[in-house]
Structure 1
Amino acid sequence: MTVSQIKSGHDAGRRFGVRISVRPLVRSLVRPFPHLLPARLVSLAALACGLCAPGLAQADYRVRVDAPKDIAKLLKDNLDVVRFAPRDDIGDAQFEHIVATIGEQVQELTSTEGYFSPVTHVDVATINGKRDVDIKVDAGPRTHIKDVDLKFTGPVAEQDPQRVEQLRNAWELPVDAPFRQSDWDKAKNDTLFQLGQKRYHAAKMTFSRAVVDADNDAASLAATYESGPPFTLGPLVITGTRRYPAQIIRNVNPLSEGEAFDADRLQELQRQIQATPYFSNVIISVTEDPSKAELAPVEVKVREFPTHRVQSGVGYTTDTGASVNGRYSYYNLFGKAWTFDSQARLEQYRQGGYAEIGMPPDESAYTNSLRGAFDRTYLNGLDQRSTQVGIKRARSRERYDWAYTLDFYRTDERPDGGERFLNKALVPAFSWNRRDVDDLIFPRKGNIINTQLGFAAKPLLTDQSFARLYGRIRQYFPVGQRDLVLARLELGAVLTNGNSNRIPSSLLFFAGGTSSIRGYTYQSIGRQQNGTTFPTKYLATASLEYQRWVTRDWGGAVFWDVGTATDDYRHPTPLYHGVGFGVRWRSPVGPVNLDLGYGVHDRRFRPSISLGVAF
């Protein structure tokens, strides 16, 4: 890149626009601006000489910078006379040299913001034995873009004219926009980045120029990009595997040999590999050698997790209280990369654990597993003890998950002062999830959908025949630069003849709690009988929330939740409303929500705490 200033007939004083007036008994100090290498070397040499003669050093001085708002901070942060002000080891010669270069530094600094004709006044005086440096800067008119000449050469110009037009339309410095050096650099680099993201992996910028006519306050920009040949993806070249077979990576690979190079697709491959439990780090690269553009090898470098992993933690939720949990995983069972995963969890109102043995992904990227789980809760007068054993065949892609399961459920329900129920069911089921959001950790736009479908038929290890349907959607709507509106809808139904007394309670529905209807205790909304809350056949909840973000990481929210859980949708129980407000924090481990909800039905305030995004 070259920057030219067209200033015919300007002398040195006019060029730098500097006027320095020095009152009697004045001394000055300057440190060279980083962009002016010769001046910096001179100042450093002068400063070094001054330090070698400490007897000549003077006390520090005061600086005042009077400049337009859009350049004032730039000058205060970068002018050497400001940065050296706290020092007391500057001699008279160094001070005078720094003052003498103030105008040159102002010129260089303001030019990065598009001001090429600043006029600088420097007044130095000694008052009561202390030196004052008064700097006044008239920035002058700002330079604007007069014309832009973007050229694209190579195959992209002939084979993909629509792509060229898209890149031209996406150019970030249009005609009449203010010229700033940082914007110019960013516009060039962003265009090159976008060109190289798809197909043209070896794209490069062969020419760039910004010609600034300071007399007319106009800038002419030009850049030329060479696309290079279109790249297609070839076979995987995998390195770094020792404990686990490389075939695992090939099985989860979403790429096809011969498909066009796409950086987003390579990131998808990276995420698919990291979604397995075997690899802690994954680096994907493709050569930029134009001679290898056709079927370019995809290099995959991995670092493996150890075969054993032990985890533990403590926590707290307003739903189930304080908790402690431990987890043990082994990733090379039978020496065939089968996984064993187990976890135990103890909470105030809930205890449970699970164990699962899984096979590595097969050639269709499906994983098969055998699992078992136990869960006990004691809430709202009902002691529930649930056991689940089953098999699962699941597959996960970039934004979709789906699973086929066959599970045997057995529940032991012990209501306070009531009759004990022992129920069982064998349930084949299918689940499908989609995550179509702009950011999986901190979403602002898009939606997350969860669906489940299952059934059970008596007498196949089942006490009562039924079909079970469940769906949940969270929709995110961005508002302005930071804010958002979050809408949620949740529906569930268990279709059966008669009541649900012989259906395992873990397959029925409650409402209330942090992720349901705030302002009510966890699982407190259901069928009420003798002071005990029982699960129901139907569920419907909804929520509307507005989040106002004050900074990037901190914000507030107001919300309204509504819904019910009932056994008769034709004559439902009253709707339960919850309203309130809360604090939002984008923490290093994910979103943290602290809410205070008011349950309109119960006329009580209840706090709630949640961590993460519900998938």
Structure 2
Amino acid sequence: MAGQVTVPDTSVRVRLEGLRGEERRNALATMSIAVTASERSVTEARVRRLHARAPDEIALALQPFGYHRPEIHSDLRIEGTTWLAHYVVDPGPRVVVQSVAIDVTGDGAGEPRFRQAVDAFPLRQGAALSHAAYELGKTRLFDAASELGYLDARFVVHELRIDLTSYTAAVVLVYETGPRFRFGAVSFDQDVLDPDLLRSFVQFERGEPFNVNQLVALQSALGDSPYFSRVEVVPRRELAQDREVPVEVLLVPRQTQRYEAGVGYGTDTGPRASFQVELRRLNRVGHRALGEVAASPIERRISTQYVIPQGLGRGNVLALAAGFARLTPSTSVSDAVIVSATLGRPRGRWQETFALTFQLEDFQVGSDTGTANLLMPGASWSRTVADDRLFPSHGSRVRFELSGAIRGVGSNASFGRARASGKLIRTLLPHTRLLARLDLGGTATNQLRDLPPSIRFFTGGDQSVRGYEFRSLGPVDEQGNVVGGRVLLVGSVELDREIIKRFGIAGFWDAGNALDRLNWSLEQGVGGGVRWLSPVGLVRLDLAVAISRAGKPLRLHITVGPDL
């Protein structure tokens, strides 16, 4: 072999051929000589020792994937001041699973959940052996036991028998479930909130079968609340009596006050700034207050909110709010005073909200001017699902809204309004996402020109139809001013692809309009842009063409924030 002469201390470069994917990554992580590649200086004796060890390490790294007869050719030589360690690997055939025998015994032997885990065991007769699949199948049995409350479940037999003569494997598992446990009393280690409020977060009763998922949900609910900075839910198995497991919840309170200042920019709003104050615990029953001041070229707003937990379960809150806003987009001017009472609560996987809002708004939209007094009951239902809050590869958002007012009942105009919106994100190919968006709305009224711009439909801008100015699309009055409509139709399809880590490109087509009546007179915009996954959210820089307009003008759009 080349390189037998003594050479000064040098570096090492490893070349591994014949393996791909997980097998290659595992081999490189196992090879001691590969670790030295990051070192600037290695002695010749150490290089030769690690090189001699490498074939056995490669063979060991391949065993979890079912390869037990690899052929490995190795070579070591010096090139200038660098040792080149070269390995060519033929992993050979994989061991075949000849039989799988899984037996569940004990009190839970008849549970359908265990039968499902057995039937779905990843290794089947005739399949190629994978140690990861074997461990995954065992984990699923453990998970089933945790979900069903069999806390003493264990494998009394767990064998993966590999016969290198016949080059086959046999799986033999015996899983003893033991007795089924139940929830005991729940205690909270804290002194800032009334225990009755905390108990409203608990969605299980004492005596119900123990389920670890319920504990995870409790920890998540308390962690998502504004009250605590750290939450630890601990089942005390060692203190169980009569198979009831007490649960201790260890809580560290957040600071009682939170202050937040922010600045930003969007092509719809221009530069913007905001300042928020949150008083997280005004008393032991969890009341809290929020205040915000925000300003941009098109909006000046001040708002306050007082939030009262209702003690009817997690997420049930009554919010009393009041605020003032001056809104000056290019199509309208309005000054609005808004007072509202909102009751929010979860309904299954949905968030349900009922509201009663009084709105006093002086407005000018084109040639329409007036003062609207509106007492509006309303309701909404929303749901957001995402595998990642900041940059989801799979997710969706759906929202439905209903509101209205009756003239003579606290209002000087009548209307009924419905709106439905949704967004879908799916990964089509590695690093390539499809984003589809739909926004539909309709208003039933014969007094549209008596209604303020906040009730009418407009579209155009960063979040609707790109290529057009914010709220610039809609029916026009006799002077050609955009005054808003009764109907909203907006749709969008977008593809984005990551080019390098945290940076990507996108192409899109948007179509939509605000209309007096339902028709398909939609304005269209197409374009492309770049994406940057920044620490504060996804930054989008888009250039769009208003293809429905004469001359097909271009417009730049800049937005920052999550996709959902």
TM-score by length of 2: 0.86
After superposing the two structures, state which structure 1 stretch, 586-595 or 140-149, moved more.
586-595
CA distance in 2, matches of 1:527, 1:24: 83
The residue that corresponds to 1:303 in the other structure is: 252
Question: 1:149 — aligned with what?
Answer: 101
8 Å contact kept, 1:380–1:533: no
1:130, distance to aligned residue in structure 2 (A): 8.5
Give yes or no for the alignment of 1:537 onto 2:489: no
- Deviation per residue, 1:49-84 (Å, 9 max, x gap): xxxxxxxx9533766656422355554554334544
Structure 2 CA distance for aligned equivalents of residues 75 and 436 of structure 1: 37
The answer (yes or no) to whether the contact 2:392–2:563 under 8 Å persists in 1 is: no
Contact 1:58 1:88 in 2 (8 A): no
Counterpart residue identity of residue 471, structure 2: Q
Matches within 5 A, 1:244-259: 244-259=193-208
Report deviation, 1:371. 0.8
CA contact (8 A) 2:265 2:559 kept: no
> For the Cα contact (< 8 Å) 2:357–2:376, is it kept in 1?
yes
Q: What is residue 476 of structure 2 aligned with on the other side?
A: 528
| Alignment CA distance shift 1:244-1:378 (3 Å) | same
Taking the aligned partners of 1:448 and 1:88, their CA distance within structure 2 comes to 55
Contact in 1 for aligned 2:332/2:453 (Cα 8 Å): no
Tell me by how many angstroms 1:421 deviates.
2.0
Give the deviation of 1:226 after TM superposition: 2.5
What's the offset of the Cα at 1:292? 4.7
Q: In structure 2, which of residues 356, 381, 390 is the aligned counterpart of residue 432 of structure 1?
A: 381
In the other structure, the counterpart of 2:265 is 316
Residue in 2 aligned with 1:110? 62
Match of 1:197, SS state, is: helix
Change in 2 beyond 3 A, CA 1:359/1:125: closer
Q: What residue identity is the alignment partner of 2:218? A: L
| Alignment-derived partner of residue 160 in structure 2 | 210
Secondary structure at the aligned position of 2:443 is classed as strand
Which residue does 1:421 correspond to in 2?
Answer: 370
Aligned pairs (5 A) from 1:193-592: 193-239=143-189, 241-288=190-237, 292=241, 294-333=243-282, 336-363=285-312, 366-396=316-346, 399-415=349-365, 418=367, 420-435=369-384, 442-443=391-392, 445=394, 447-477=396-426, 479=428, 483-497=432-446, 499-529=447-477, 530-548=479-497, 555-569=504-518, 574-584=521-531, 588-592=535-539
Indicate if the aligned counterparts of 1:548 and 1:555 stay in contact, CA closer than 8 A.
yes
The alpha-carbon deviation at position 325 of structure 1 amounts to 0.6
Q: Please give the alpha-carbon distance, in whole angstroms, between the structure 2 residues aligned to 1:24 and 1:518.
A: 65
Q: Distance in 2 between matches of 1:385 and 1:109?
A: 70
Letter paired with 2:96: H
**1:192 aligned counterpart, secondary structure:** helix
- Within the candidate set 3, 19, 43, 1:90 is matched to 43
Q: Which moved more, 1:291-300 or 1:528-537?
A: 291-300
Misfit runs of 4+, over 6 Å: 125-132
Residue 106 to residue 439, structure 1, CA distance change in 2 (3 Å): closer
1:37-76 equivalence runs, <5 A:
58-60=8-10, 65=15, 67-70=17-20, 74-76=26-28
Gaps (5+ residues) in structure 1? 1-21, 28-56
TM-score, normalized by length of structure 1? 0.80
CA-CA distance at 1:227 after TM superposition: 2.2
- Structure 2 residue 113 is the aligned partner of structure 1 residue 163: yes
Does the residue aligned with 2:108 lie in a helix, a strand or coil?
Answer: helix
Which of the two has higher C-alpha Rg? 1
Once the two structures are overlaid, the 10-residue window that deviates more, 384-393 or 228-237, is 228-237
- Letter aligned with residue 487 of structure 2: Y
Query: Is 1:596–2:537 an aligned residue pair?
Result: no
Distance in 1 separating the partners of 2:242 and 2:463: 50
Query: What is the alpha-carbon distance in structure 1 between the residues aligned to residue 548 and residue 508 of structure 2?
Result: 16
1:141 offset after TM fit, Å? 3.3
**In 1, distance between residues paired with 2:36 and 2:553?**
61
Distance 1:588 1:203, change over 3 A: farther
Evaluate the alpha carbon distance shift between residue 593 and residue 299 of structure 1 in structure 2; reply closer, same or farther with a 3 A threshold: farther
The one-letter amino acid paired with 2:461 is G
Q: Secondary structure at the match of 1:141?
A: coil
Q: Secondary structure at the match of 1:532?
A: coil
CA drift at 1:320: 0.7
CA separation of 1:89/1:332 partners in 2, compared to 1, >3 Å: closer, same or farther? Answer: closer
Task: Name the amino acid aligned to 1:459.
Answer: G
Amino acid at match of 1:390: S
Counterpart of 2:459 in structure 1: which amino acid? Answer: A
CA displacement 1:269-307 (0-9 Å, x = unmatched): 333333432222222232445955744333322221111
Q: Which moved more, 1:474-483 or 1:347-356?
A: 474-483
State how many pairs are aligned: 557
What is the SS of the residue equivalent to 1:235?
strand
The verdict on how the C-alpha distance between 1:579 and 1:101 changes in structure 2, with shifts beyond 3 A counting, is closer
CA RMSD of aligned residues (A): 3.4
* Structure 1 SS opposite 2:10: coil
- Aligned partners of 1:193, 1:478: CA distance in 2, in Å? 28
**CA positional deviation for 1:336:** 4.8
2:16 and 2:226 map into 1 onto residues whose CA distance is: 59
Question: 1 CA distance for matches of 2:542 and 2:396?
Answer: 22
Q: 1:464 to 1:126 in 2, by over 3 A?
A: closer
Tell me if structure 1 keeps the 8 A contact 2:223–2:231.
yes
Gaps of 5+ in 2: none
Q: Aligned AA for 1:372?
A: A
- Alpha-carbon shift at residue 208 of structure 1 (Å): 2.1
